[in-house]
Amino acid sequence: MCTNNLANVCRIAIALLAVSISSARAHHSGAMFDPEVMLTLTGTVTRFDYVNPHSWLYVNVANEDGTFTEWGFELDAPPRLRRLGVSPSFWRQGDRITVNTNPLKDGRPAGSLRGAVSEDGRKFGNSAGIPALP
């Protein structure tokens, strides 16, 4: 199901066994994200917006033709991230990162962030299947 031609690093498309974030935890319904598809993308952090009602992590991902596409990944709100120990500087501009995401169903470059591994090995959420960065 990795049909988005912007992402050359689409490696995994698996059916999720369970959606771990219940709808009641989010600000909005997650119906626009495809729970049946998990993309694993690698790129460079451009921005981490630590704001209510949802924080967003932005990552520049290389395409096959050598161009880059900036992806946006939605994650939880600051009150939850603060309790999890994720600070506004958990990801900084320029960090190399690999993420697991349920992408938008319509193929635009955004998704729900399920997990991430930074170049220094720091992990967030469901990082299963993410290989160590070279």
Partner 1 sequence: MIKTPSAAVCLLTGLLGAGAFAQGDRGGAAADCVPLAEQHAGLGTEQSVSANKLFTTVWGSFELPGGPCGYESAEAHYTALLEDTKRRGGPTRHTLTSLPDWSGHWGTDNSTGELAIVGINSAAEGIAVRLTPEAREVFLHDARMWNEGHAIDPISFCLPPNFPRWITEYGFREHFLTPDKTLLGSEMVNEFRRIFTDGRPHPSAEWMTHEWLGYSIGFWDGDVLTIWTKGVKEGILQRNMPRQTNRMEVIERWRKVDPVAAGVDIEPNTLGSEFVPDQRIEVELTMYDPTFVEPWHTVVALYKEDDRTAEAKERIWPHQWDCVEGSQWYMTDDGVISQYAPGEKPAITDPDYWFNENYVHK
Extract long-range pairs of 74-79: CB within 8 Å, 24+ residues apart. Answer: 74/110, 74/111, 74/112, 74/113, 75/112, 75/113, 75/125, 76/21, 76/25, 76/26, 77/27, 77/52, 77/53, 78/50, 78/51, 78/52, 79/52
Q: Does 92 bind partner 1 (CB under 8 A)?
A: no
Residue 53 Cβ vs partner 1, minimum distance, rounded to whole Å = 5
Residues 12 to 41 in contact with partner 1, rule: CB under 8 A: 22-25, 27-29, 31-33
> Is 90 a residue that touches partner 1 (CB under 8 A)?
no
Query: For residue 29, what are the contacts with CB-CB under 8 A and spacing of at least 6?
Result: 23
SS3 state at 97: strand
Residue 94 makes contact with partner 1 by CB under 8 A:
no
CB of 97 to partner 1, least distance (A): 15
Q: Does 9 bind partner 1 (CB under 8 A)?
A: no
Q: Which is nearer to partner 1, 29 or 132 (CB)?
A: 29
Residues in contact with partner 1 by the rule CB under 8 A: 22-25, 27-29, 31-33, 49-54, 56, 58, 70-72, 74, 77-80, 82-85, 87, 104, 106, 108-110
